Homo-oligomer: A and B are copies of this chain.
Amino acid sequence: MGQGPHWIGLTRAAAERGVPGVLSVPLAIGKPEERRMFEQLGIPTPSHACMVDITAQVQQIVARSGIKEGICHVFVPHTTAGLTINENADPTVQSDILRELDKIVPWRDGYDHAEGNAAAHIKASMMGASHAVLVVGGRLRLGTWQGIYLTEFDGPRSRQVWVKVVAG
């Protein structure tokens, strides 16, 4: 990990959706030796509900970490967006996931939460905020058809994803 921010190239899927850019910022909190402990990805989400493929950006962080064998922890610090690992080939899988979740948890359903986005909170809990992926030979070890996705349920917004690679 370097000292400055890293502008990371878009994934094809993100580019097709018109995401203007993804910014990765190494931690700048605490003492210098702590600065390389995790990295923060900045993910602008383009629409109200969408899945943004962040696999390439997470892989770049794994590569920069220099860790060959271990675990890559991915964490979303939001409560109306989540993370999931699912198919990266046919984009209809993503639209089917989003539409079906909207049937299961309708946007309007007599919720009490005054902000009006209770459905997004519920869907975020159904997807989860933390996932872990194996690191083997310096690379994320995913299944052939798997990608790591930020699941946006109340966008468009600027979102963050935290990535920490632990040797082991």
Interface of A is mostly: mixed
Instruction: Determine how close the nearest CB of chain B comes to the CB of A79; give it in whole angstroms.
Output: 4
Q: Are A71 and B164 also in contact (CB < 8 A) when A86-B79, A129-B146 are? A: yes
Stretch at the interface among A2-10, A11-19, A89-97: A89-97
B residues less than 8 Å from A70 (CB atoms): 166, 168
Kindly state whether residue A118 has any CB partner on chain B within 8 Å.
Answer: yes
Q: Contact check, A137 vs B103: say whether CB atoms are below 8 A apart.
A: no
Asked whether A27 is an interface residue with its Cβ less than 8 Å from the other chain, the reply is: yes
Please tell me which stretch of A42-50, A56-64, A108-116 contacts chain B, meaning at least 4 of its Cβ atoms lie within 8 angstroms of it: A108-116
Q: Would A112 and B96 be within 8 Å (CB), given that A101-B122, A142-B77 are in contact? A: yes
Name the one of B73, B92, B112, B129 contacting A112, with C-beta atoms under 8 angstroms: B92
**CB of A8, distance to nearest CB on chain B (Å):** 20
Known: A38-B134, A77-B146, A90-B114. A71 touches B166 (CB 8 A): yes
Specify which chain B residues have a CB less than 8 angstroms from the CB of A145 in the assembled complex. Answer: 78-79
How many angstroms between the C-alpha atoms of A75 and B144 in the bound complex? 13
